[in-house]
Structure 1
Amino acid sequence: MTTVSNGTGGSNGTKETLGPRASLWLSLVLALLFGALSVLVLHPAAQHLRSLADGRPVWATMRTNGPCMTGGCLVSFEAGGREVLAELPAGSGSKALSVGDSVDVRYRADDPRVAALARDVDGGGAAIPAVVSGALAVFFALFACWWAFAPWRRRRSVG
């Protein structure tokens, strides 16, 4: 059970606990949040990365520092005779890259600004968090069911 201080600051040491209904609602909210994260954010990101698996390969130069897992990393490369600046999507590699590093990317032939690191086009960078988030959603949904039926189980075992 989760314990929360009563906030009185007194020395009596009393503690309040979350009741069954609060635990039920908290579990349901967490299940919905993790489920929504998995289905609405992480799964589409993995699909987007997989869609670039048959993209055109090219060597690019990093234009920003840091890990690209949350997105926002820029790369530049030549496509169709012109210099292209593309933003790597969220879920692109967890390794921190530096400005000037040469990286292998794949891009869409019809829109070179849509690119991803070649090592990430299998979708694994975003697929693993999607599976973990989905598993957490199932865990919290089962926990909510357990809390919902706990009073019924107690009454049945007593009677």
Structure 2
Amino acid sequence: MVGMVKVGTSSAHESGLNHRAGIALPLLLALILGALSGLVLLPQAQHLRSLRDGVPAHATLHSGGTCVLGRCKVQFEVDGRTVVADLPAGSSGGKNPAGTRLTVRYRADDPQTVADENDVDGGAHMFMAAVVGGAALIFLALSARKAVSLARLKRKA
């Protein structure tokens, strides 16, 4: 008949692509989230924790903005000279406008390595690493579940 369309049928090739996408997409998301957690968030938390014993200094937020992306600067005095340093990405300093006074900790041998004193415990970054890592594991489990399901279907066929 002319003008009739079959609905709900697909070729074996299209079905295979759907199954592969059902495995590959969660696997790709798991890899991306796992890399974000392990290669970005955990090292950032360790960096912040390394500044726990840093030298405290009273600083002024030189330029506010999106500290989440690492675009905040603080200005403080070290041995009579003015230092302008970047707060690390994810800093809590961005909640405040430029000119706000805050306490920072810096490395004695490198005043450019600085963090807001409220961030040096690294807790927020560790929490985010755990959440993102957990999401990576969920997507990995979804991908594995789909692969097992596909293997069972092939065995039955």
Give TM-score, length-normalised by structure 2. Answer: 0.84
User: Who wins on radius of gyration, i.e. which is larger?
Assistant: 2
Count of aligned pairs: 146
Q: Is the 8 A contact 2:33 2:133 kept in 1?
A: yes
CA RMSD between the two structures: 2.4
What residue in structure 2 maps to residue 59 of structure 1? 58
Q: Is the 8 A contact 1:27 1:141 kept in 2?
A: yes
CA deviations on 1:40-71 (whole Å, 9 max, x unpaired) are: 11111111000000001111001112341221
What residue in structure 1 maps to residue 40 of structure 2? 41
Give TM-score, length-normalised by structure 1. Answer: 0.83
Q: Is the 8 A contact 1:92 1:125 kept in 2?
A: no
State, as a whole percentage, how many aligned pairs show the same letter.
Answer: 46
CA deviations on 1:71-112 (whole Å, 9 max, x unpaired) are: 110000001221111100012117522111001100000001
Unaligned runs of 5+ in 2: none
Q: Is the 8 A contact 1:46 1:124 kept in 2?
A: yes
Following TM superposition, the consecutive aligned residue runs of length 4 or more in structure 1 with deviations greater than 6 angstroms are 14-18
Letter in 2 for 1:97: N
Alignment pair present for 1:135 and 2:134? yes
Q: Distance in 2 between matches of 1:124 and 1:25?
A: 33
Letter in 2 for 1:125: A
What residue in structure 1 maps to residue 108 of structure 2? 109
Question: Which SS does the other structure have where 2:67 is aligned?
Answer: coil
1:154: Cα distance to partner? 4.6
What residue in structure 2 maps to residue 8 of structure 1? none
Q: Distance in 2 between matches of 1:39 and 1:72?
A: 22
